[in-house]
Amino acid sequence: MARKSLVGVVADELLDRIIAGEFPPGTLVPGELELSARHEVSRMTVREAMKTLEAQRILSVERGRGTFVNPLNQWASLEAVLRAASEGTKDAAAAVQLIELRRMLETGACELAAERISDDELTTLTEHVEKMQSAHEVNDVAAFVEADLAFHDVILHASGNVFVAVLFEPLHRVLEARRTQTSAFADIQAHAIGHHRKIAAALESRNPHEARLAMDAHMQQTLDDLKTYVLEA
């Protein structure tokens, strides 16, 4: 295995341990000797792996004290933050912040889409809502999540802004994990179906203001449901 690959493997495995909570923010990570023995690599490889995480602001070096884990809000790697949000064990704050991000981006995308969405895309939205309804009736969570994500993807692309869809692409995996978590509750599914119908109707009316309000109401309901059914459960 090439040295560059070894560095990446060690960095990824250390990041996995950080995300799993083995090394919480503010704690000291093991030294080079311990890590080189654990991964059966040279100290130079470990040092380069640590530098990789330091460059992403996941770790910080304090001279004379050692290397410490930074809080999630200081991390500079989107991929690492998304991994923490989807795999972390204590990620309530990340779950809420993800909805806040979606709210900022998706309400604007929905507003733009109201004047740009095609008739075919409107028909597709309705089809996705009906698929959500059918999945809800038989408690098929996977099918429900698939239709839910597809509904929102149509709107993101219908906004006509290429940056919106590109920004959301890295979020797909974590959004799928979140939807699977929350959509396990029948009440949350019912709430989502109702809001998706209102969003589709607002888009069909071609009214940007109403479309934005409909999406914003959906995001608020999503946040309320997360807090009620998941975080406080």
- pLDDT tens column, 153-198: 999 999 999 999 888 888 877 788 778 888 889 999 999 999 999 9
**Integer Cα distance of 11 and 45 in angstroms:** 10
Per-residue model confidence as pLDDT tens digits over 190-229: 999 999 999 999 999 999 999 999 999 999 999 999 999 8
Give 173's DSSP letter.
Answer: H
DSSP state of 56: T
Handedness of CA 148, 151, 153, 155 (dihedral sign): negative
For residues 170 and 190, what is the distance between their CA atoms, to the nearest angstrom? 27
What's residue 230's pLDDT?
84
What would the two tokens of residue 218 be?
Answer: 């959906």
Which long-range contacts link 75-81 to residues 24+ away (Cβ below 8 Å)? Answer: 78/170, 79/170, 80/15, 80/56
For residue 91, the model assigns a pLDDT of 62
Q: What is the pLDDT of residues 35-73, one digit of tens each?
A: 999 999 999 999 999 999 999 999 999 988 999 999 988
Range 12-17, long-range pairs (CB < 8 A, 24+ positions): 13/39, 14/49, 14/50, 14/53, 15/53, 15/58, 15/80, 15/83
Model-level pTM? 0.77
